[in-house]
Amino acid sequence: MARMRAVDAAVLVLEKEGVSCAFGVPGAAINPFYAALKARGTVRHVLARHVEAASHMAEGYTRAKVGNIGLCIGTSGPAGTDMITGLYSASADSIPILCITGQAPRARLNKEDFQAVDIAAIAAPVTKWAVTVMEPYLVPMTLQKAFHLMRSSRPGPVLVDLPVDVQLAEIDFDIDAYEPLPVFKPAMTRIQAEKALAMLNGAEKPLIVAGGGIINADASDLLIEFAEIIGVPVVPTLMGWGTIPDDHRLMAGMCGLQTSHRYGNATMLAADFVFGIGNRWANRHTGSVETYTRGRKFIHVDIEPTQIGRVFAPDLGIVSDAGAALKMLLDVATEWKTAGKLRDWSGWAKECQQRKKTMKRKTHFDQVPLKPQRIYEEMNNAFGRDTTYVTTIGLSQIAGAQFLHVYKPRNWINCGQAGPLGWTLPAALGVRAARPDANIVALSGDYDFQFMIEELAAGAQHKLPYIHVVVNNAYLGLIRQAQRGFSMDYEVSLAFENVNTVGHAEVGYGVDHVAVAEAMGCKAVRVRRPEEFANAFAEAKRLMKEYQVPVVLEFILERVTNISMGTEIDNVTEFEELAEKNEDAPTAIVLLD
């Protein structure tokens, strides 16, 4: 037992729980905690330029590697409110991050003290737990509970708010007597697995929908083995992309209104049975429930009981961690296969493979300014199978999901439900901090890139190199496309005559991203023509390796390109076909929530 400040005990607990990296911004009310971090010297710290960015860095750090929990730190008042978007994003996608904030002294709470706000109340709806610690000895015990909650059942974020006098108070604490609490994960039983496989055996054209819960459970290998044993094609969700390699014979494509493949939607519409594992039936995947469920039976396996039946009632619901479920399903399926009790779906699987071969969207365009489809074609050629892509929202992300290829879990790191602009850049820095040797490529439209462009300086300062592909059409492209349903193009153009870009080929596009990147201590390459692709990708890789800083690779696009999307999975407008007929049918109005 030793006498120490509560914040010194907190840092010891963080070490014991496996935390080795933090992202944040110091300030008066959190300086005692920073003093404890400095004294121990065991936790690396990345100084963000915006506190919201610190929360997204923590997200990227968690998403990048099995077992990680990203830590973001801020002072009292606006630091905590700035991190609410990151907490919402993490909560929506079941990502555990720990947010620690400073707070005014206990005696000054509820007295409108400078930068004093009830951050626990504000954060409560977007966390698994948000608490202001009012007793010094509760600091290490609160963190123990926080880690237990973040890891147990459906993972998610926690906010711990520390009044400055609580941080400084001395307590008696013995770190050698501290142990992390056991993690609770519900598990599928054998009877449940047998019932599920019996239902599956009644189907003629079944599919497995593989969600992000499989990646959270580090169970992608089990998914592939299970799919191969039963011979059933797999449709990954956007959050589950990478659970099965894109070129696997049973990978049937993604389904949805936007981030989907033509063959994936066609296969879903042809199916009569869907086995969902670790997914949440997000609306961008399903479209309307009526269209998605018509003529199909469903099994839904999820770690959170209240997720089952939230969107629609399945024919069978099972509460289980995805990894535990797949292990039990694999055990039973292997026995049934040996005994000849499993149906043969090889004909259905070949039908799905044929759609995958023939129902592809066009990508090879030679126009100048560049068409975005060609960028993704070139990215597939330039970046290897082990590339980790990081992106959030917009036409850049939608087209990326339609045209890029992902072969491994955690190689598509995407903010799925919240989709905040600006997420990509800080998240990529968090991914780099977690995986120093990974090949990391971020993907942004010009507006997403501009939202938190200041974080390039954090990447340069802390030597966090990666390649950031920016597709620049000087438009809020997704919103512009949606506005067509209202016959308008209003306040979505980012173009202006920048007095500093006179003489550039892209004059009128507004912000000079190359100049900004270089001012932030990074490197940048601009691409305007198809013949420049090969050298540009090679140069970006060289610059990143040589200087160990983020490298911006900007592509100047045509101002207007419509990307395939629709109102239902059976009503997706394929714009390249319309372009060949010189038609311009209005796209669907898609509400992203």
Report, as residue numbers or ranges, the catalytic residues: 25, 51, 421, 476, 479
Q: Check if the beta carbon of residue 425 is closer than 8 Å to that of residue 49.
A: no
Q: Check if the beta carbon of residue 320 is closer than 8 Å to that of residue 186.
A: yes
**406 Rama sector, left if φ>0, alpha if ψ -120 to 50, beta otherwise:** beta
What's the gap between Cα 14 and its chain centre? 24
- Tell how many helices (H) and how many strands (E) occur in the chain: 25, 21
Return d(Cα 227, Cα 213) in angstroms, integer.
Answer: 16
- Residue (of 200, 250, 194, 244) closest to 219 by Cα position: 244
Structure tokens at 446: 């010009």
**CA distances from residue 508 to 445, 496, 498, 513, 527 in whole angstroms, order as listed:** 17, 5, 7, 13, 16
Return d(Cα 244, Cα 148) in angstroms, integer.
Answer: 30
What letters, b where the CB count within 10 A reaches 16 and e where it falls short, cover 224-245? bbbbbbbbbbbbbbbbbbbbbb
Q: Which residues pair with 131 in a beta bridge?
A: 160
Return d(Cα 569, Cα 258) in angstroms, integer.
Answer: 9
Return d(Cα 386, Cα 439) in angstroms, integer.
Answer: 7
CB atoms within 10 A of CB 45: 16
**Residue in this structure with the two tokens 């074609």, named with its chain if needed:** 377
Residues in the chain: 593
- Residue (of 519, 451, 514, 506) closest to 473 by Cα position: 506
Question: What φ, ψ does residue 486 adopt, rounded to 5°?
Answer: -105, 10
Q: Is 177 exposed, middle or buried (0-12, 13-18, 19+ CB in 10 A)?
A: exposed
Return d(Cα 494, Cα 477) in angstroms, integer.
Answer: 10
Return d(Cα 375, Cα 365) in angstroms, integer.
Answer: 9
Question: What φ, ψ does residue 72 adopt, rounded to 5°?
Answer: -120, 140
Q: Which residues pair with 471 in a beta bridge?
A: 445, 555
Q: Enumerate residues 6+ apart whose C-beta is below 8 A from 181.
A: 144, 145, 147, 148
State the Cα angle at 292 between 260 and 226, rounded to 5°. 70
Q: Which residues pair with 472 in a beta bridge?
A: 556
H or E element that contains 501: none
